[in-house]
Amino acid sequence: MPQSPTPSADQTPRRERRKEARPGELLEAALDVFVEKGFAATRVEEIAARAGVSKGTLFLYFSSKEELFKAVVRKNISGLYANWSAEIDCMTASSTEMLAHAMQEWWKHVGSTKAGGLCKLMAAESGNFPELIDFYQQEVEAPGTALLARIVQRGIDRSEFRPVDVNYAAYVLKAPLAFLMLHPQGDDGIPGFDPDRFLSVQVDLLLHGLAVPQRPQDMPAAS
Amino acid sequence: MPQSPTPSADQTPRRERRKEARPGELLEAALDVFVEKGFAATRVEEIAARAGVSKGTLFLYFSSKEELFKAVVRKNISGLYANWSAEIDCMTASSTEMLAHAMQEWWKHVGSTKAGGLCKLMAAESGNFPELIDFYQQEVEAPGTALLARIVQRGIDRSEFRPVDVNYAAYVLKAPLAFLMLHPQGDDGIPGFDPDRFLSVQVDLLLHGLAVPQRPQDMPAAS
Amino acid sequence: MPQSPTPSADQTPRRERRKEARPGELLEAALDVFVEKGFAATRVEEIAARAGVSKGTLFLYFSSKEELFKAVVRKNISGLYANWSAEIDCMTASSTEMLAHAMQEWWKHVGSTKAGGLCKLMAAESGNFPELIDFYQQEVEAPGTALLARIVQRGIDRSEFRPVDVNYAAYVLKAPLAFLMLHPQGDDGIPGFDPDRFLSVQVDLLLHGLAVPQRPQDMPAAS
Amino acid sequence: MPQSPTPSADQTPRRERRKEARPGELLEAALDVFVEKGFAATRVEEIAARAGVSKGTLFLYFSSKEELFKAVVRKNISGLYANWSAEIDCMTASSTEMLAHAMQEWWKHVGSTKAGGLCKLMAAESGNFPELIDFYQQEVEAPGTALLARIVQRGIDRSEFRPVDVNYAAYVLKAPLAFLMLHPQGDDGIPGFDPDRFLSVQVDLLLHGLAVPQRPQDMPAAS
DNA sequence: CATGAATGAGTGTTCATTCAT
DNA sequence: GATGAATGAACACTCATTCAT
């Protein structure tokens, strides 16, 4: 005990400890309210209240409602792509497995969580808030598409996949995720609908097609 | 009820006809503006102006902005799939063609139109209209899924398709349509993204799969 | 009965009559409050309250606090210069009399009235609200200077005045008016100070100089 | 007593000296910011920052923004004219030169400095500080007027000036200074306006008049 | 004494809703 | 019925002031 004679676990004074925790608490509250109400319909005062602070305090940490929203997106979505991209590089699995894995991971960590609500939000309120949509496009949509395109390209390079337009393939792969995200889950959802089952079927179909193979015959290797 | 039982050309004097037409004109204007701006960002004054009436008059027919929105949804979404189902029954094309046709038709007549915009809105601002969500589920989602499921079942029955879970297959087929609807088109959209091209790739992938057939044999190149 | 049987003086309905009076009432109230409190310290709500309307109504007629202020300036100052300039053109008095007249008129109709407070305001809050000061410069200062410069030029042309730099002379002439305006009048003012007397002395000095003429001798006509 | 026990150079430890210097540093910073921004537009936080202390510390020394402003006025305006009066008494120049000198000096040492800015502020926002107005009248306006009046009286006594009402003449002389002070200098000012030139023209006019001498006779051109 | 995190009343502005005409 | 002038409750954001540390 170098310093104070009563060295409890709480060395930092309460005020200071709170200061460091504030942004995180606000970000969490903001995520909840934005997802619940949408961007336009969210009142900053409610976010502040849920974080247990006053309106003024919120603006101490985030300079505007829009900045706060961006911070929420960065914290909950943007960062994930960086990790995933790195993860891809050191995987040895087949590209098929990789694709299935990537989609399942996205659903588990984004789509099925509150972060998924953010994506829904952006799609909905895109018309207004043009600055926000640009940000979202760059920070979320583009990296996501790029990640999937990279896996598809890898599959093509390794002759696992047919040669297709990788960008459109990436969009196709994203579609079911968007679909999943859009649909209300839980009580309001389609009764008996199981997201994981849906993803399995989706991956099976995308990889093997719906059509019955037409009498498998010789096929020249993809040029 | 727009179709009165006595559909004469012009019996009612013009003044009165306008009076009876008012709600319809307002609903039409409201559809336009809501789709363009979103619910929160829409000003009732603009709707009134587009319908050629004063703000006060709007409130004569709809007790609030929210009621007006509900009326718009009810008018435009209900019965969306009524005719289509019948059309299916008398088609003789292959199930593959049917599927491609159905998806393209949906995009052409719903997804890319104002009705599509309404669906986007519903998804987006559903949080604020919990009562509408069931309605939307029953009137739009369920029939759409059923329609696709029927085609898939037909394909399986005729040995055109592999036997798969028809409901999940239907969801899978709806996914790209939802994706398409969600994404902003025109200037705000992804540069270089072509919805029709996207649908082609999608249909190709869903029917033939992404994976190279396991036991590569001779097969004529798909024309 | 097209012509109602009780044709009182009030043919226009009360609501409508008010509508036409509103801008004037608001402008009057705004003049009072702006002069009393300064631009920044004035709350639009107080202006509205003094005009007997709600805050919202004010914005029905003026799109912002700044626009309202500009309108006040236009109504109370800008317009006067146009009249004066025309008046000048048809006067036959000597340039000396004209100058004295112009300055007295300005003091009577602007400087000594609430409008004078506006000028004081502009000088004070010039640092902030750069848009406002540009407007004021163009709308008030420039025309005022131009008017005085014109009279001085006329005097020079008619050999009534010595040839001097007319623009600086105009500034010199404006100086005492600015001085007058700046000084609190009434109870707070300098005891025994009489603005009219001040102007007389000023005009006398500016025209004849303070210095004793040095033995009047031959002097070549101004080239 | 060469090393007096009290007025040493630096007996107090640095910490404490800072403590005692605080109010002065704050007043200096406040002067700067108030003059730059005006009272309403000044943020106490900026004053504190410029003084190198925290916002809270400022309130330790001044109970409110308003009190701080008053203190600034009292510190910077009082005694403005104390020395000048003595200086006048021992000058031997002509009264004409004295007047020109006095006005130029005032502009150089007061009008164009921060103190001048304070006067502008006082005039502008006086409405919000009624108690300061008497103070300003006694400490600034009155002594300034008296000083000029004394010079004019001297000129009359020495037959340099025409006999005029000395008090009003003093006001007339102050007018251009007030005018100068009021007008924004630098970039915001009237383009091409030169304060020194303005003062020259002013002095020339006030001393020799604008009007051509009535009985034009030979007179050497003013050098 | 000094700090700076926290506050909350206050600001200009918007817009759904009302109601006298 | 139809109008549109009027309303006032919100809203995002600011900043003088307080007070726990």
Note if the pTM is more than 0.95: no
Distance of CA D207 to the CA centre of its chain: 23
CA–C1' C22–F9 (A):
23
Scanning the structure block, which residue is given the tokens 């969580």?
A113
Task: Evaluate if residue D14 carries a pLDDT over 60.
Answer: no
Scanning the structure block, which residue is given the tokens 């107005």?
D133
Residue of chain D nearest C220, judged by CA positions: D218
- SS3 annotation, A40-83: CCCCHHHHHHHCCCCHHHHHHHCCCHHHHHHHHHHHHHHHHHHH
Distances (CA, A) of C206 to B203, C37, D5: 93, 35, 60
Tokens of A186: 């839980």
Burial class (CB in 10 A: 0-12, 13-18, 19+), D164: middle
Confidence (pLDDT) at A217: 45
Nearest to A127 among B36, B134, B212 (CB): B36
A192 phi-psi bin (left φ>0, alpha ψ -120 to 50, beta other) = left
Chain A residues lying within 8 Å of B40, measured CB to CB:
38, 40-41, 125
- Under the banding of pLDDT at 50, 70 and 90, the label for residue B207 is confident
Confidence (pLDDT) at B83: 79
d(CA C100, CA C95): 9
d(CA B137, CA B146): 12
Distances (CA, A) of C128 to C172, D30, D34, D128: 26, 17, 12, 18
Mutate to test the interface with D, among C151, C164, C210 (most CBs of D within 10 A): C210
The four Cα atoms D173, D178, D184, D190 give a dihedral, to 10 degrees, of -40
Confidence (pLDDT) at A73: 94
Chain C residues lying within 8 Å of D175, measured CB to CB:
175-176, 178-180, 202
d(CA C164, CA C150): 13
Please write the tens of the pLDDT for every residue from B85-121.
888 888 889 898 898 888 888 888 888 889 888 888 8
Question: Which nucleotide has the shortest C1'-to-CA distance from C59?
Answer: E13
Contact between A206 and B210 under an 8 Å Cβ cutoff? The reply is yes
For residue A153, the distance in angstroms to the closest alpha carbon of chain B comes to 12
Weakest mean pLDDT among A30-34, C88-92, C147-151:
C88-92
DSSP 8-state class, residue D46: H
d(CA A83, CA A98): 15
Task: Evaluate if residue B137 carries a pLDDT over 50.
Answer: yes
Residues 6+ apart with CB under 8 A from D86: none
d(CA C110, CA B126): 60
Confidence (pLDDT) at D219: 42
Q: At what angle do helices A142-157 and A95-106 cross, to 10 degrees?
A: 160
Confidence (pLDDT) at D189: 66
For residue C202, the distance in angstroms to the closest alpha carbon of chain D comes to 6
Cβ of C154 less than 7 A from strand E = no
Chain D residues lying within 8 Å of C206, measured CB to CB:
205-206, 209-210
CA–C1' D124–E8 (A):
30
Please write the tens of the pLDDT for every residue from A98-112.
988 999 899 999 998
CA–C1' B201–E11 (A):
55
Question: Which nucleotide has the shortest C1'-to-CA distance from A54?
Answer: E7
CA C135, C141, C144, C148 torsion: positive or negative?
negative
Nearest to C197 among D99, D168, D221 (CB): D168
Weakest mean pLDDT among B71-75, C61-65, C72-76, C217-221:
C217-221
Select from B148, B51, B167 the least CA-distant residue to B99: B148
Cβ atoms within 10 Å, residue D211: 19
For residue C50, the distance in angstroms to the closest alpha carbon of chain D comes to 18
d(CA D34, CA D27): 10
Distances (CA, A) of B184 to A57, A137, B42, D206: 35, 11, 18, 73
Question: Which nucleotide has the shortest C1'-to-CA distance from A63?
Answer: F13
Distances (CA, A) of C169 to C8, C87, C149, C164, D204: 57, 21, 7, 7, 10
Scanning the structure block, which residue is given the tokens 């087929």?
B173
Tokens of C182: 């700046």
Please write the tens of the pLDDT for every residue from D130-162.
888 888 888 888 888 899 999 999 999 998 888
Beta-carbon pairs below 8 A across chains C and D: 197
Backbone angles phi, psi at D78, to 5 degrees: -55, 145
d(CA C72, CA C50): 15
